[in-house]
Amino acid sequence: DGGITQSPKYLFRKEGQNVTLSCEQNLNHDAMYWYRQDPGQGLRLIYYSQIVNDFQKGDIAEGYSVSREKKESFPLTVTSAQKNPTAFYLCASSITSSNIQYFGAGTRLSVL
């Protein structure tokens, strides 16, 4: 089955801790994205990558970091600098020249 796999489904972060959210896709898509979803708000773009070893900041990149060492993988690290990390995090991918984004099932991050 082709698709986007996010793990874990639920994640808890302690104060001062960095946590990493996994996103893997087997759709052979070049572009990958990370969004944050808060209740009553639309999806907000954190980071995106159009090609391996290259990524750009989105609208709310502060307190987050990413890497793109492989085409299939785009992990997101929520650093201790992100003071309000509680949210639902969504990873997506697309063909570079296409508007159609395919989403994973999300990771819900909470603070202990």
Residues that bind other proteins (CB under 8 A): 4, 6, 31, 33, 40-45, 48, 50, 56, 58, 90, 92, 94, 96-106, 108
Q: Please report how many Cα atoms fall inside a 13 Å half-sphere around the Cα of residue 71, on the Cβ side.
A: 8
Q: Which is nearer to other proteins, 20 or 98 (CB)?
A: 98
**Minimum CB–partner distance for residue 8 and other proteins (Å):** 13
Q: What type of residue is 12?
A: F
Residue 9 CA to residue 6 CA, distance in Å, equals: 7
Look-up of token digits 């990873």:
91
In the complex with other proteins, the residue whose CB is nearer, 7 or 17, is 7
